[in-house]
Chain A
Amino acid sequence: MAKRLLNFPDRTAVVGVGYTPFTKDSQVSTLTLACRAIMAALADAGLDPSDVDGLATHRVGDSVAPSLVGPALGIDDPSWYLDQFGGGSVSHAVAGQAALAVAAGLADTVVFYRAINARSEFRMGQAANPSPEVQYQAPYGLTAPVQHFALAARAHMLKYGTTEEHLGRIAVRQRAHAAKNPRALMRTPITLDDYLASRWIAEPFRLLDCCLETDGACALVITTAERARSLHRTPVLISAAAWGGGQSFLSGADPTVSAAATLAPRLYGMAGLTPADVDVAQLYDCFTYSVLVQLEDYGFCAKGEGGPFAASGEGPPVNTHGGFLSEGYVHGINHIAEAVSQLRGDAGDRQVPGARVALSTSQPGYILPATSALILRSP
């Protein structure tokens, strides 16, 4: 275990969460989405744009920078901002860096937002991709994240006997969660037969293995734990944030091991917690397989046992909002928002009783060779 840092864990808190509706066509710009989500998050926190002195986002050429969003809301001179290149693997790193800026005193109140018209304007994989690895893949038609994850899932099946039913159980369970979530795009329950009957996208993945590319935005307000105590929402403390880990997929790393395997000890060590302490887990689910491999790599079951473990529903409740598979895909930030909701105890019909510790994670390193994650807890 990494040594416990003294100046970061529990020094900051998420004090507000905001969403736009999740749709298949927002009919508005990503700037509008971002502003609406930020205003909703500030209203939730009982704050005003004039209280904000930091802005953070991540994007892959598909959204708007803090330098555009800030002035649009009258935040003309943020003392700290971050405009990180990257997709799902960096979402929790952005939250972590926002917390770091607050903990260090560079900013007092930071808003992290992510706004995308991922269905109607920018389909994933179409944005500019600077990776030199593309030249060795695109000529053969290997271009989309779904194909990369499918390769990893197949390797896991070959090595450990993981089955399509294991993957299907993940999709079925998350849909059942989404049925209790008014925000979710897909709320009609599905069965394993529905899963098996859904059409192939990239074998071994079917349609119901895949997330819902979504138009929507989400924002989080992060401030000091001290200030959080004077605000009207129950603060949710950021106990640990970690980013990094992993190896390039093309470099020959074992595709059945994700970047989370190297990141997890650092994350748990920072929080002084273990997997057994996690009451609810929001695991990045661009595809069903990413949930399965993270159950292993975040230590909820042994390597290779993720299939039966996921199918059985053992361990903490996972993706209680329905995840990207059923709620909608806002690239990671909506997992953090759901974790916050669970720890505040305001998750309604899908509330996990007594949830006090949540794990929330990013894309586990199959596209860019890194991931990121947070451990949050109620005070």
Chain B
Amino acid sequence: MPAPTRPTPDRDSREWWERVALGEFAVQECEGCGLRRFPSRAFCVRCRGEGRRWVAIRPVGTVESWVVSHRPFGQGEIVVTIRLDEVPDAVVHGSWEGTGEPEGGSRARAVFTAVDDTLTLVGWREDHGATGTLEDGPLATRSVSDVRSSGGAG
């Protein structure tokens, strides 16, 4: 697996990446109207307020689509679009780390992978009925070597 392109966090997103590095999937919640939003940004699209707080959410959702990339864009890697349970207006993209190809509408949960000391990425795999509460225990944080040995994202 080639080294991933490193993200370039900006002033809106830096804290999101910092929380991901700690194994937390957080989104912003508007202090005015309570609307949750992802990706992170300054203004609430509903009430246009700037006040917001970070809230950890269950990193689970539904597979809305996926693409299997071939050369020159990849070698069979799958990227999924996940619609988040707790932020239904938002989708997130990430590597598919499940078994085989995903299925439309199937349930998925996040897999946190520490690439190195300063970068953690969020992939997705099937959610076998887990409720996805934070009390399920620490979110699986796998090392790069684990990903390689499991075949990773292919």
Contact = CB atoms under 8 A, between A and B. Distances in A.
The answer to whether A and B belong to the same complex is yes
Interface residues of A, number: 32
Interface string A131-166: 011111111111110110011101100100000000
Interface residues of B, number: 37
Contacts, number: 104
B64 interface: yes
A206 to B, nearest CB: 9
A273 interface: no
A199 to B, nearest CB: 7
Interface stretch (B3-11, B50-58, B129-137, B143-151): B3-11
Nearest to B92: A136
Nearest to B90: A252
Interface in A211-254: 249-252
Contacts of A132: 10, 12-13, 39
Contact of A252 (B9, B66, B88, B105): B88
A201 B64 contact: no
A203 interface: yes
A203 B68 contact: yes
B68 A141 contact: no
Contacts of B91: 249-250, 252
Interface string B1-40: 0001111111011000000000000000000000000010
B79 A142 contact: yes
A201 B75 CA distance: 10
Given A136-B7, A249-B91, 16 more contacts: A135-B9, A136-B93, A138-B4, A138-B5, A139-B5, A139-B6, A140-B123, A141-B95, A142-B67, A154-B104, A199-B70, A202-B74, A203-B67, A203-B69, A203-B70, A250-B93
25 contacts: A132-B13, A133-B39, A135-B9, A136-B7, A137-B93, A138-B5, A139-B7, A139-B121, A140-B94, A141-B77, A141-B79, A141-B95, A142-B67, A143-B5, A147-B79, A151-B65, A152-B65, A154-B66, A154-B104, A155-B81, A201-B73, A203-B68, A250-B39, A252-B87, A252-B88
Contacts of A138: 4-5, 7
Interface in A351-368: none
Interface of A: 132-144, 146-147, 150-152, 154-155, 158, 199-204, 249-252, 255
A140 B81 contact: no
Contacts of B67: 142, 147, 150-151, 154, 202-204
A363 B93 CA distance: 22
